Chain A
Amino acid sequence: MSLPHTLRASVTPPELELIACQQLVDIVPLIAMEKTAFISGAYGPLRPPHKARIPLWMAVTLKQKKKCHILAPEWLTVEYLQLKLTQETTQAEFTKLPFRFAELSRVMLDVASDDLQNPDKLRSLLQDLREARQAKARAGLENLEHSALGLSNLSAMEINEIRPFFIEAMAILGRLQPGA
């Protein structure tokens, strides 16, 4: 393979972010636009002040030109994340979060932090969540088996982060079995 060694183990975080940007978000447009066909589908029409659903990449572009407000998804609020954080720290298993919450929240906090309520608090909550979940993934490592691994509700970014060495470690455990 001609790919550099570092890119073979798994996809990179920027690639995951690109994939996440295909997801639809609600915006309030500040400009009018007819329904327009893109490769991934037709979006629009945009008629302020009515809400519209468009992909995140388009929302980001519009937002940067100050032509829309991005509406925060229902999970990107202080109350919701606070609740999730409490669940995360009290329960043994991972709490359920949107599959691409890390990428989505990151992009929205970067581009549209003025559309979110209390972005600094959101950032610190997300950071706490990430750390609590990392600690759990680490605990999963202690009970690693060669044949199967059950870590449900793990998000795309987290799976991607642990994938390279979990796979390798499981392969090694498999080879250490007699008769393997």
Chain B
Amino acid sequence: MDDYFSIDAILAENQRVGCRFKIDIADMGHLGGGGERDITRSNTLQLPIWLVYTVVLSDWADMIMPPAFGSKVRNALKADPCSVRLSGLVGAGGLWYVFGKTIMEILDKKQEMSDLLTNTFRKRLVQVIDQAQHFNALGPAGGVGPGGDSAQSFREGLDGTERELFALAQEGAKRMKRWYEESDRGRR
């Protein structure tokens, strides 16, 4: 997930985070993609996250918590982790956990962020695995039935990391099923 060679980690860094500058920097206005020439104090720019590290750690700017981890999302996660569509919170690929991990490294209060991510992951995990094993029984077109709508919306809201887990569990369940059914006729 945060391996040097991990494509996911690279993709997760392809995010812009708002930063409020504390100092004036001349001739660097292009960083935010705007037309202004200089960065002035208390200016807010959307910077790519790999640049945010340097800017925040050098104490040139404060990071503004991205909306994907804002209080609105936090409260929703506290209420019911399974009803939040994580994939929609961050851009393409929907790597919410990896993005959160990256943000965590910049923050001072690492533990709080870690707890948020860990709790969310753990609460959703059971549902992810359940659906992966269940999905199999329903067949490729499945997912429609009693409660099918909420299950489907949960699946669509899966973060990229959870998606991989889903695929793993699904593959495993498929193999078990095949073995249990095949050995019936294989030997006679």
Contacts and interface: CB of A to CB of B under 8 A. Distances in A.
A110 to B, nearest CB: 5
Interface of A: 6, 9-10, 12-14, 17, 60, 64, 106-107, 110-111, 138, 141-142, 144, 146, 157, 161-162, 164-165, 168-169, 171-173, 175-179
Contacts of A60: 187
B111 A142 contact: no
A110 B172 contact: no
Contacts of B186: 110
Contact of A9 (B100, B113, B114, B168): B168
Given A141-B129, A144-B122, A165-B129, 9 more contacts: A60-B187, A110-B184, A142-B126, A164-B168, A165-B169, A171-B1, A177-B118, A178-B104, A178-B113
A64 B132 CA distance: 38
Nearest to A158: B176
B175 A138 contact: no
Contacts of B117: 176
Contacts of A178: 104, 110-111, 113-114
A142 B172 contact: no
Contacts of A168: 164-165, 168
B168 A172 contact: no
29 contacts: A9-B171, A12-B175, A13-B178, A14-B179, A17-B179, A60-B187, A106-B180, A110-B183, A110-B187, A138-B126, A138-B130, A142-B122, A142-B125, A144-B125, A157-B176, A161-B173, A165-B168, A168-B168, A169-B121, A169-B125, A171-B1, A172-B1, A172-B121, A175-B2, A176-B97, A176-B118, A177-B114, A178-B113, A179-B110
Contacts of A142: 122, 125-126
Contact of B175 (A13, A172, A176): A13
